Amino acid sequence: MIFKEFGTISAPTIVLLHEGGLSWWSLMETIELLKKDYHIVAPIIDGHGEDAQTTFLSIQDSARKLIQYIDENNNGSVFAMGGSTLGAQIVVEALSQRTDIARYAIIESPWVIPSKSLTFLTVLAGRLAYRLYHWKWFARIRARELSIKKQHFIEYFSDTSSMTKDSLINIAVNHSSYAVSDSLKNTRANVMIIIGSREIKRMDPSIHKLIDMIPETKVFIVPGMKPGEFSMIHSTEYYYLLKRITG
């Protein structure tokens, strides 16, 4: 896991984790806004982007690496953590492994209930996608589905085509089979969940599970938003939302 840093190191630290299949650049516009007031740490998850040759093993392994970095560089805790899809799952796992790792957590589209049937399908899709990711026409279709801005397409295509098959399959399996630990109930973080109106039905069991475990959790539903889109596309709104919930 590679860690990019932005802003003044003496400012409160916010960790922002990208979604699966992308890299830190997908959060560039949001980082530009936040770094005025905060010290931003933007990890590159194993198997992605500049760290493509490090095989992604598991969400639990990624959370341990993140916690180790925070222990070594931020005295064991940060002001806030944010992540979308796979990044959100890593944030949830970090909160489960360390109760006081962050004061605030903003998680977008956090899938926390495993699906055996979905896991089987994602393995098949992962094997197929590995070949397709090397074709620009397929990358353009996926980029539109993920709402990736045109100026980031070259980075997206370069990163996805450099992913290894092992990482791609491991990411797919972990994302669909992740089960939140009961230890999440002990987190001291103030948690907000962000989901898009298009994914309410799919995400409903996971949202209820998280609210049952952390009753004070707030849920923010964004009309028309796709999974993981908020921090990547709606940078200004993300900035003001974070200011509001931490203020």
Task: Please name each of the domains of the chain with its CATH number.
Answer: 2-113+179-246 (3.40.50.1820)
Summarised one tens digit per residue, pLDDT across range 43-77 is 999 999 899 889 999 999 999 999 999 999 999 99
Structure tokens at 167: 């990482």
Contact 108, 84 (CB under 8 A): yes
pLDDT at 240 over 70: yes
Whose CA is closest to 157, among 177, 141, 178, 169?
141
Summarised one tens digit per residue, pLDDT across range 101-118 is 999 999 999 999 987 655
What pLDDT is recorded for position 119? 52
How far apart CA 76 and CA 183 sit, in angstroms, is: 18
How far apart CA 169 and CA 128 sit, in angstroms, is: 10
Q: Which phi and psi angles does 97 have, rounded to 5°?
A: -80, -25
Whose CA is closest to 168, among 194, 132, 199?
132
- Number of Cβ within 10 Å of residue 151's Cβ equals 9
pLDDT at 130 over 70: no
Residues in the chain: 247
What pLDDT is recorded for position 219? 94
Share of the chain above pLDDT 90, in %: 59
